[in-house]
Structure 1
Amino acid sequence: MAADPSKLQTQIDIKPPPLPFHTESAPETLQEPKLSFFASRYRRTRRRRADTWLISLFVILHIVAFTATMVVNDCWHKSRGDCALKAFGRLSFQPLSENPLLGPSASTLDEMGALRRTFLTENRQTWRLFTFPCLHAGAIHLVINLCSVVFVGIHLEQEFGPLMAGLIYILSAFVGTLVAALFVEKHPAVGASGALYGLLGATLAALIQNWEMYTNKFTALVSVLFVSIGNFLLGLLPYVDNFSSIGGFISGFLLGSVLLSSPKVRELAQEKGGLLDYDLKSSIKLRMRLKLDRPVYRSLAFVLFGVMLAGCLVAVLQGIDLNQYCRWCRHVDCIPFKGWSCSDMETFCETMVSNEQLTLTCMSNGNFRVLPYTNVSQDRVNDLCSVICS
């Protein structure tokens, strides 16, 4: 007997498509992707790894500027061979008693564009505001500073692009110069560290803003702290200005709060494979949150940076000296030691020529030095006078 067609039942098993991951890992799609702060650059594509040209350019320019400074210094001839590392010839350094950082003389730094109070107030040489952040006090200052710039700057450039890193570097260097000009005294000072501290401040701002995005944030904090303290201690030595570092750090933090809102989320998606593609809605929501998060905080940081820039610029053009209102501030930039003094007093030396010898006697402490030659420039006499009077 034939079966009733109305009673026929067709059973079709419809199986859901397999998930790209096991069911146990599905809840992970609800979590934000995380990356390692300083190590993330090693997981970038080839295009991103190549985006380090700007920091590399800044490093090369600093090396060229320091080499030119040592060529102008010409210790072998101007100091009559009284140099450190004489094998370098014209590029040899001044004696350690004169420059413990293995660098040029004070008069050479003045010639290349260092800052002094008299240069800004009496001579109105405002062009030094642009040469000041390009100079290093010595080879030791150069190596430590540039290694720190490479360590911090390359990460920021790869993570946020050359434009953001370049803006932070240049603007922080300029604001740091303005802050230094408000505290600079009668001895020469250079401030290449201002740009470095701008990068450090921006790194801290990016880390705080994207705290949930990173896995090794405490390691990054310790790294920033270590680099900051090390370079600040270096700034207590002669010729290196610490006020530019302070100004650069504050301006870098404010700029980082404005510009470095989030890392490249699309690159995280590529690294995670299909993880974000599986939960597209969560990915879009994350991107929008990273773009629109904390607008009030970023606006406030932008206003504060503008006020800081404008206020320091006006104060410098008016010739304001903040040392008059803060007597202890000079110890932020210098600690007295046996080889040098933090005093801002003018040094005067009496010169006496006899038997092809030149005797310099400091009028303040009575120290003297006998040179086996007489034909020496006045700039060199001033350099030696500062040494024996310190």
Structure 2
Amino acid sequence: MAAAPENVQIRVHSRRGVNTIHPVSVESPHPAAAASPAANYREVKHFKKWFPWLIPTFVVANVVMFIISMYVNNCPKNSISCVAGFLGRFSFQPFKENPLLGPSSSALGKMGALDVAKVVDKHQGWRLITCMWLHGGVFHLLANMLSLLVIGIRLEQEFGFVRIGLLYLISGLGGSLLSALFIQSNISVGASGALFGLLGAMLSELITNWTIYANKLAAFTTLVVIVAINLAVGILPHVDNFAHIGGFVSGFLLGFVFLIRPQFGWVNQRYAPISPAGYSSAASPAGYSSTSRAANPKFMAYQRILWLLSLILLVVGFTVGLVLLLRGVDLNDHCSWCHYLSCVPTSKWSCNTQPISCQAEQTGSQYTLTCSNSSKSRSYSLLNPTATQIQGLCAQLCR
């Protein structure tokens, strides 16, 4: 399994990141069909393999968006110093400002990062979607894209591009929505909400198609452990675990809706070889008549119940979440302990989420910046600096 996906928080001066056992496609003719030349065999399409093209397209789109972000960032023009300056306009922000080898927070904001103040006050709801296609740096991009290839291609092969594409996008929206309701003082970017949606869908697919798995307990245990490890990584600072949780829950529910499979009994009955007389040429097991075989349901009762309940929860959850967000509700005010789901403070790190800001004093070409959070102070010799340069120096000073 690839490295755990992470949604990275980039702090800015603001007003306010498995192996399962899938059924094998039934592609060879039934023995009775091979024995009888007159038998009519029909291909089982419910378990065919799809050619995966959408997930690789998503990967390319994310890489392209990162390149565009670096072009917009233009470090040599907007920063005092840059990493890998030989890249020119595509060089990276200083490590102290962005240790992931990427653009500045202001550049990500211009590209569509999730900024709750702009979503609520300026009605820029599209940021809930665009933030899924942005990444904080090279390391962030590589981790998420490797995970997407490992998880997504297998799912697209099994279920097709339509269902997996919708699952990816809706899960990403769910992750952005929960993140916006809890983290309102920083911007957030990354595809890991959608990635956790794919993990959640794998778990619900295992549950809803339980009867067709051979090693049920092993597959379930493996997947649960992988999900738990990925979510545990989210309690580290600068990682948006609310996006992980929101994406996972959305994907888990969507898996019951999109990834339901018909029962093998129904498939065998439907695609059994047909004799010229119009009757199934497959021999019925001892003690079972053709009438009892015809009674095989396409979906079990528990599959139908899970489908309906999940659909209701999804509609209600997204509706309530969007209403609360557009009203400017901060769920931290109603849940005093929920912030621990995204970051647990220890002696090694702090979970301070206050936005970064600095006071600037100018004396000729000398600028003295004082961090409002830590009272750190430093003087810089600058000639007509831009606001972006001052903001970058502030970010370096306060970290």
Alignment match, 1:327: 336
Amino acid at match of 2:56: S
> Residues 52-91 of structure 1: matches in 2 within 5 Å?
52-83=52-83, 85-91=84-90
The 3-state SS of whatever aligns with 1:291 is coil
Alignment match, 1:225: 225
- The two structures, once aligned, show a CA RMSD in angstroms of 3.6
Alignment match, 1:23: none
Q: Is the contact between residue 198 and residue 253 of structure 1 (CA under 8 Å) also seen in structure 2?
A: yes
Alignment match, 2:391: 382
Alignment match, 2:132: 133
Residue segments in structure 1 that go unaligned for 5+ positions in a row: 1-35
Q: Which has the higher helix share?
A: 1
Alignment match, 2:310: 301
Q: Which residue among 28, 31, 37 is the counterpart of 2:20?
A: 37
Alignment match, 2:102: 103
Alignment match, 1:260: 259
The 3-state SS of whatever aligns with 1:103 is coil
Q: Is the contact between residue 81 and residue 94 of structure 2 (CA under 8 Å) also seen in structure 1?
A: no
Q: Is the contact between residue 96 and residue 396 of structure 2 (CA under 8 Å) also seen in structure 1?
A: yes
> Residues 274-285 of structure 1: matches in 2 within 5 Å?
none
Tell me how far 1:221 sits from its aligned partner: 4.3
Residue segments in structure 2 that go unaligned for 5+ positions in a row: 1-18, 29-44, 274-279
Measure the CA separation in 2 of the matches of 1:171 and 1:327: 28
Report the number of matched residues.
347
Report the identity percentage.
38
Q: Is the contact between residue 197 and residue 228 of structure 1 (CA under 8 Å) also seen in structure 2?
A: no
Q: Is the contact between residue 340 and residue 387 of structure 1 (CA under 8 Å) also seen in structure 2?
A: no
Measure the CA separation in 1 of the matches of 2:319 and 2:164: 22
Q: Is the contact between residue 120 and residue 319 of structure 1 (CA under 8 Å) also seen in structure 2?
A: no
Alignment match, 2:248: 249
Tell me how far 1:289 sits from its aligned partner: 4.0
The 3-state SS of whatever aligns with 2:188 is coil
Amino acid at match of 1:95: P
Residue deviations 1:71-97 (CA, integer Å, cap 9, x gap):
1112233223332x3343322222222
The 3-state SS of whatever aligns with 1:102 is coil
Measure the CA separation in 2 of the matches of 1:371 and 1:59: 41
Answer 1 or 2: higher relative contact order, Cα 8 Å, separation at least 6. Answer: 2
Amino acid at match of 2:328: G
Measure the CA separation in 2 of the matches of 1:61 and 1:338: 39
Q: Is the contact between residue 234 and residue 342 of structure 2 (CA under 8 Å) also seen in structure 1?
A: no
Instruction: Give the structure with higher Rg (CA).
Output: 1
Amino acid at match of 1:170: L
Aligned CA distance change for structure 1 residues 307 and 60 (closer, same or farther; 3 Å): same
Aligned CA distance change for structure 1 residues 257 and 344 (closer, same or farther; 3 Å): same
Q: Is the contact between residue 62 and residue 134 of structure 1 (CA under 8 Å) also seen in structure 2?
A: yes
The 3-state SS of whatever aligns with 1:101 is coil
Measure the CA separation in 2 of the matches of 1:248 and 1:286: 40
Q: Is the contact between residue 82 and residue 92 of structure 2 (CA under 8 Å) also seen in structure 1?
A: no
User: Structure 1 length as normaliser, TM-score?
Assistant: 0.76
Tell me how far 1:204 sits from its aligned partner: 0.3
Measure the CA separation in 2 of the matches of 1:232 and 1:63: 27
